[in-house]
A and B are shown apart, each in its own frame.
Chain A
Amino acid sequence: MDVPKGFPYPNIPPDNLPTANRINLGKKLFFDPILSRDSSKSCNSCHHTDKKFTDGLALSIGIDGNLTLRNSMTILNTAYQPYFFWDGGAPTLEQQTLAPIENPLEMDFDVNLVVERLIQHSEYPELFQKAYDLPPSPYTLVRAISNYERSLFTKKSRYDEYLYDNNTSALTASEINGMTIFFGEQGECFHCHGEYNFTDYSFKNNGLYLSYADSGRARITTNSSDVGKFKVPSLRNVEHTAPYMHDGSRATLEDVIEHYNTGGQPHPNKSGLIQPLNLTPQEKIDLVNFLKSLSDKE
């Protein structure tokens, strides 16, 4: 696996170690609408390769034109995610894979019926046999897709060149200024969006609303102290993954910076790190420029 520079080798379940046959099978399944009830939607429908595996929509559109509940997250660097979905409801990637298939707003299908289709298929049984030495089953189905998804990493950005290649000219003066705000006590962004993947994977209420239509993490834990908390997303390629937030309610990076600059709504669960930043117009531009330096170069 082509792990980017500065990234650790990910933890991979021993029963689903990567092989070329597994990755290729998972890739074929990822792009195949056979997974959805009416064969209209594939994983790729909401995770486009040309949008860094997001879909550019505030809320994704599932089967029959249904509006789903949340914004599509990138699946790049998913090998590092300790749990899945905005609310962490799935503890493993393999278990996550079941949800879009079963969700009535997404693929609205039955995993057992997907497996029946795969068993009848002219190519899949042989591909499963090659990959797992087993026929298509819910077990091998979710493992193959997960195996492919774990092989998807972000690529080198100009920020990485600056950091790892000691290329001081990789970033502009504005981007460097934005970086200083980002990693300093002025912006405080790095507390949650830190380290190689620009996330600590914690659940945070960032003061988006006073009252949340989507309770977020509380939907899983039922704790009122988790209302409005969502998993901190990675910022790599953030330039290409608009719109932003769990509900896609912020259209541009400028809108996002403006939200954090105001300090957000005074929700009782709001993270103490979210406070008014008092950024100048130039500092806001610098921050946005820095975020854009996190994009894959190729």
Chain B
Amino acid sequence: MKKALLRSGLIILSTFGVLFTSCKDDDDTEPTPASTEQNLTFHIHTNVGATSVVYGTNYAHTDGRTFNLSDLRYYISNIVLIKQDNSELPISGKVLLVNPSENEYSLGKVPVGSYKGFRFYLGLDSATNHTDPTTYTSENLFPIQTPSIHWSWNSGYIFMKIEGLVDTSLAGNGNVNFPFFYHVGLDQNTKTIDFTNEAFTVASGSDKEIGLEFDLLSTLTNVDMRTENATHTMDNMPLATKIADNWTISFEIE
């Protein structure tokens, strides 16, 4: 039924198209051919709750504990679009290093049409993760960043780096001065963020933007920042695993 409606919609659209072009018959210019590809962009808001992250600003965790951030970056990779016929369109080689002060992440050109949805990794595939970072050229996001988001002691990338200060007083009424850090990586912590049922359409003639919201409070679900305030992943696997598991509930379509 849905398909039938869609099809009739397309017929109506194309009818209008014919009418529209016929109006232009007076001058001799050829109609612009309908584009078959358009730019696709992720518009990502990196938030704490409903607030866009600004480094140094105090925020309240869900338990009321106050913290601020000095670094919050994460790798998104292996983006795959799902077409109407369930075939998959991988956005090959595209990796995003998301930070709160940037919202627009171009994925390049994709074919015009209707899509059933999409999915991506929070993290990297194993081969990419363990490649020598010095062999990458500055044209992508894999060379060593400043500050670094790569481990050299266990060669691989930090998928999400979260650093800042937290009030670790028992009652949560003290100073926001204790450094916390969550450096989460390691192959097995790569998570698929699944929006395969979030249909969207890339229409001819207009670039498409998909709005995404990442909420750090969701990533810190059940993380007691007073006692759980440090992980380099390997040295505190339970905490790293908890954070990585929370990634799957941290993204929403805007």
Contact = CB atoms under 8 A, between A and B. Distances in A.
A96 B154 CA distance: 9
A102 B234 contact: no
Contact of B152 (A87, A90, A139, A141): A90
A92 B131 CA distance: 10
A235 B185 CA distance: 35
Given A138-B143, A222-B186, A89 B153 contact: yes
Contact of B144 (A87, A92, A138): A138
Contacts, number: 59
A142 interface: yes
A113 B146 contact: yes
Given A89-B155, A91-B155, A98-B152, A142 B134 contact: yes
B134 A102 contact: no
Interface in B124-139: 130, 132-135
B153 A85 contact: yes
Interface residues of B, number: 19
A110 B237 contact: no
Given A91-B130, A95-B132, A139-B134, 11 more contacts: A89-B154, A90-B152, A95-B134, A101-B152, A102-B148, A103-B152, A111-B134, A137-B134, A138-B143, A138-B144, A142-B134
Given A110-B146, A112-B146, A222-B234, A99 B134 contact: no
B132 A92 contact: yes
A98 B146 contact: no
Contacts of B237: 222
Contact of A95 (B145, B146, B155, B235): B155
A183 B152 CA distance: 37
Interface of A: 85, 87, 89-92, 94-96, 98-99, 101-103, 110-113, 137-139, 141-143, 219-220, 222
Contact of B133 (A91, A138, A141, A220): A138
A221 to B, nearest CB: 9
Contacts of B143: 138
B17 interface: no
B152 A102 contact: yes
Nearest to A116: B146
A219 B152 contact: no
23 contacts: A85-B153, A87-B154, A89-B154, A90-B152, A91-B130, A92-B132, A95-B152, A98-B134, A98-B144, A98-B152, A101-B152, A102-B148, A110-B147, A111-B144, A112-B144, A112-B145, A137-B134, A138-B133, A138-B134, A142-B134, A219-B154, A219-B235, A222-B237
B123 to A, nearest CB: 16
A140 to B, nearest CB: 8
Contacts of A96: 152
A14 B237 CA distance: 37
A295 B123 CA distance: 47
B154 to A, nearest CB: 4
A225 B244 CA distance: 24
B234 A220 contact: yes
A112 B134 CA distance: 11
Contacts of A102: 148, 152
Contacts of A113: 146
Interface string B113-130: 000000000000000001
